Amino acid sequence: MSDHTTELDLVVGSMFTTRPEEDRELYEDEREWLSDIQDLLREEGIEVDLLSRPGVEIWEGGIDRFMDLYQLRQLAAYLEQGRDVGGVLTASTPDDGEPDPVLVAIWDGEETTRFPHLINHQADGGYYLPVDFAEPIWLEADEEVSEDDEEAEDPYISFGSAVGLQRELTELSSLLQQANVPSNSGPARCLQVLRTAAEQSVANDLPIIVW
């Protein structure tokens, strides 16, 4: 196990955190929650099996900094809109904490994007499912979970498509090369981690868990 510290961790595996033989009560609670999630996703037209292979973990990785993901999203938005990306990699986190208006316009639905599963997805605490669908789905979090986590700013959980993410990252990788974004930069490394996670998710028919 590497001692390398990352700000965002990714796992390709079951959304169960335990097996029935390890903690039956916790397993049953998680099974009930995942069954409800599965039903809600089905209502959105998404058929996915979240209940099989409890406790299975295929792959794990990490993104060094939240800023790497943020800048990757900026690069995607800027490049598809034909904007200059020269200042993106050298910019620091805004002192006022206000996000880039270009991203805000996409989040608010004022601008469309070819990269919805990259940009319109929860940065921390979301999931990618190994099925193909057009836009990320946002579901209201369990009331008990929301009440327990008083620091939670958003009582919703996002579910993106690992298939869609894989497709977006393939296109974005070419755009980054054309824009001469260094392959050793934080956003480029972030893209490679996400791309590997998406490949593993699709190949093994298991979700990506981001936390």
Supply 79's token pair: 């490049």
pLDDT at 146: 44
Whole-model pTM: value is: 0.90
pLDDT at 145: 47
Going residue by residue through the chain, which has 211 residues, state the pLDDT in tens, using 9 for 90 and above: 456 789 999 999 999 999 999 999 999 999 999 999 999 999 999 999 999 999 999 999 999 999 999 999 999 999 999 999 988 988 766 655 789 999 999 999 999 999 999 999 998 889 999 999 999 999 987 654 444 455 555 688 999 999 999 999 999 999 999 999 999 999 999 999 999 999 999 999 999 999 9
Kindly report the number of other CB atoms within 10 A of residue 126's CB atom.
Answer: 18
pLDDT at 141: 76
What whole-number distance in Å separates Cα of residue 186 and Cα of residue 171?
18
Exposed/middle/buried for residue 189 (C-beta within 10 Å: 0-12, 13-18, 19+): middle
Beta-strand relationship, 156-161 and 137-140: antiparallel
pLDDT at 90: 84
